[in-house]
Amino acid sequence: MFKKTLYAAFCFVALLAGAQASASWPLTEATGFGSNPGNLKLFYYVPTNLPEGAPLVVVAHGCTQTAQDFADTSGWPALADDYEFALVFPQTSTDNEPAGGCFRTWEPAHQQRGAGEPLSVKQMIEYMHSQFAISLDEVFVTGMSSGGHLTNIMLATYPDVFKAGAPESSFPYKCATQITELATCSFGGKILTAQQWGNLARSGYPGYSGARPKVQIWHGSGDPYIYLVNQYQLVKQWTNVHGIDAIADFGNLLLGQPRYYYKTLFGVTKVETVTIQGMGHAITVDPGAGPWQCGATGPYAADFNICASYWIAVFFDIT
């Protein structure tokens, strides 16, 4: 009965980011990549003749998904082929989280540097560096829903590892620290000041004073499960971390979708938002062979004529 109730709760807050999709991209599983305290699986995709010093993008799936599901809909493997970078797809399971196979992003044990799932992901990056000589100066992270929460965790706990990140359909780091807070966070019921959100992010690596990753935040305006208000809460969190205000300095349209920039006094963009009008709880894809097109439709992957993965890669400056 408890498991059924817990599963219903996860459906209600809709951290579910997709169902099984037909496999098409050949991912490779690696084992023995470290102590792996988060009990995650490591899947990766590496283009043929990957050059030494290539970038690495960590791509995190959502609840009920697998690494393969997200690889097949997101468009990242095709981009890796075109622009010669490597991909890591961390995968959790229902053995870890029985309700939906989510990353355990609300548990303090998995919100800390040097422990749990964050350390497992860090060990995956070290493994890829040892096997393929990827550049440790060009490491990035992105993910949707549960994977978006993991993205925020990695940016907060390992700011010294990542150059940039892009959470999709997510809410701020340490908004939820127990399962009973998930619905409140998902529905935008936790509103803090920029300073308060920033303090939570800084608590991921206390005392760190080095460079911080820039952040691009994607959200659907019609997301019925993780409300759009969370996009601005993330803006407040990451602009505060960068020491800038949460008032947009500039805005334009990205293929018809509103995009806003948050800049330093020197005009350097540290935070961006892209809001897909009318989209629900999904990533946006744009199937096709055009230069800006990528991805495939599927559960929680919707065609809004813009491929988020491509524009995230542009933001990461790896295209």
pLDDT score recorded for residue 24: 85
Structural domain including 266 reads: 2-316
Please write the tens of the pLDDT for every residue from 63-84: 999 999 999 999 999 999 999 9
Residue 13: pLDDT band with limits 50, 70, 90 = very low
Catalytic residue among 145, 169, 170, 309: 145
Looking at the predicted structure, is the pLDDT value of residue 3 above 60? no
- Structure token digits, residue 300: 């929680």
Q: Is 74 a catalytic residue?
A: no
Res 58: pLDDT = 99
Give 126-147 pLDDT, tens digit per residue: 999 999 999 999 999 999 999 9
Query: Crossing angle, helix 146-157 and helix 229-241, to 10 degrees?
Result: 10
pLDDT tens, 229-284? 999 999 999 999 999 999 999 999 999 999 999 999 999 999 999 999 999 999 99
What does the pLDDT read at residue 16?
37
Whether the per-residue pLDDT at 21 is higher than 90: the answer is no
**If you average pLDDT over every residue of the chain, what do you get?**
93
The single-letter DSSP state of residue 187 is T
Burial of 178 (0-12, 13-18, 19+ CB in 10 A): exposed
Beta bridge partners of 29: 43
How would DSSP label each residue in 270-312?
EEEEEEETT--SSEEEB-SSSTT-B---BTTEEE-S--HHHHH
Q: Which of 3-12, 64-73, 101-110 has the lowest mean pLDDT?
A: 3-12
Q: pLDDT digit string (tens) for 172-231?
A: 999 999 999 999 999 999 999 999 999 999 999 999 999 999 999 999 999 999 999 999
Cα-atom radius of gyration of the chain, to the nearest Å? 18
Side-chain half-sphere exposure of 35, counting CA atoms within 13 A: 7
Q: Do the beta carbons of residue 215 and residue 237 sit within 8 Å?
A: no
Domain count, the chain: 1
Read off the CATH number of the domain in which 147 is found: 3.40.50.1820
Q: What's at 47, amino acid-wise? A: P
**Cα–Cα distance measured from residue 265 to residue 294, given in angstroms and rounded to the nearest whole number:** 35
**pLDDT value at 19 more than 50:** no
Does 1 score more than 60 pLDDT? Answer: no
